Amino acid sequence: MKVILKENVETLGKTGDMVKVSDGYARNFLIPKGLAIEASKRNIKVLAHERKTIEQKAEKEKKNAEELRGKLENVICTIARKEGEQGKLFGSVTAKDVEQELSAQGIKIDRKNINMDVPIKSIGEFQITVKIYPGVNAEIKVVVVSET
């Protein structure tokens, strides 16, 4: 039986793919769970229309991501922390702290998209990569200053 995948299925393919599977697998697992629909002529036409709308939506999101990248390139996050001897911080600056500072400046970024390999543990300037959209990344400057 040929089916059209409505969601990504690890062993079969990604959303929108038309795959051939056994009848039992399709009727007992894929279709009842909402992972696929039967590949009839009508469903194939609907899929073609949905692909166009999905592509248009993805292009619009990418354009918005490019605009947000332009905004983020000029942003400087200044975070104040207490420091000990030799410029070491008490605690560290994490992605959550950067997210809070960005939201205070009116920019919504999920902390999961802020790429920090290790937390910042010293005073200074740091470049951090922010993933905005697949293939669209921005570099922001984080300045950690001494809290007085």
Write the DSSP string, 56-82.
HHHHHHHHHHHHHHHHHHT-EEEEEE-
Is residue 5 packed enough to be buried (19+ CB in 10 Å), middle (13-18) or exposed (0-12)?
buried
pLDDT at position 99 is: 93
Domain that holds residue 77: 68-146
Q: Do 24 and 8 share a structural domain?
A: yes
User: Smallest Cα–Cα separation from 120: which of 138, 98, 140, 148?
Assistant: 98
Specify the number of domains making up the chain.
2
Residue 15's H or E segment, with its range, is: none
Q: Do 139 and 74 share a structural domain?
A: yes
The pLDDT of 30-49, averaged and rounded, is 89
pLDDT at position 29 is: 93
Q: What is the CATH number of the domain that holds 120?
A: 3.10.430.100
Q: Out of 65, 91, 108, pick the residue that ends a domain.
A: 65
pLDDT at position 91 is: 84
Q: What is the CATH number of the domain that holds 14?
A: 3.40.5.10
Q: Do 52 and 15 share a structural domain?
A: yes
pLDDT at position 25 is: 94
pLDDT at position 128 is: 92
**61 pLDDT exceeds 90?**
no
Q: Do 37 and 8 share a structural domain?
A: yes
Q: Do 125 and 85 share a structural domain?
A: yes
pLDDT at position 119 is: 87
Q: Out of 18, 37, 65, pick the residue that ends a domain.
A: 65
